[in-house]
């Protein structure tokens, strides 16, 4: 399976991909649920990714928190949820 950082960069830079087709789900440890966001909400990718949350604020999420990626609603990539 492709590493998530590589997948996120491919979506961003590959001219054959449309970022609007993608969503990314990350595990929110406080809410204890997966939060899915449109790929276009991601503003920066490194060892973490930055996104604009529902309040319009920038939020840093570690890449290991990403649990699912979808293209047009279809699961493309998945990581198991740890029990921590």
Say if CB 77 and CB 1 are below 8 A apart.
Answer: yes
pLDDT at 1: 78
pLDDT of residue 53: 81
Asked whether 48 and 62 are in contact (CB, 8 A), the reply is yes
pLDDT of the residue at 52: 85
Q: Which CATH number fits domain 4-78: 2.60.120, 1.10.260, 2.30.30, 3.90.380?
A: 2.30.30
Q: What is the mean pLDDT of each run of 10 residues along the chain (84 residues)?
A: 92 96 95 94 91 87 95 93 59
Domain residue ranges of the chain, discontinuous segments joined by +? 4-78
Spatial separation of the C-alpha atoms in residues 39 and 12, rounded to whole Å: 9
Q: The pTM is what? A: 0.85
């Amino acid at each position: 399976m492709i590493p998530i950082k590589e997948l996120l960069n491919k979506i961003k830079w590959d001219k054959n991909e449309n970022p609007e087709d993608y969503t990314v789900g990350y595990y929110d440890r406080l809410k204890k649920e997966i939060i899915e966001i449109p790929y276009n909400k991601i503003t920066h990718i490194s060892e973490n990714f930055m996104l604009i949350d529902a309040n319009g604020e920038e939020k840093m999420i570690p890449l290991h928190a990403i649990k699912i990626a979808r293209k047009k609603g279809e699961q493309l990539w998945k990581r198991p949820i740890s029990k921590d």
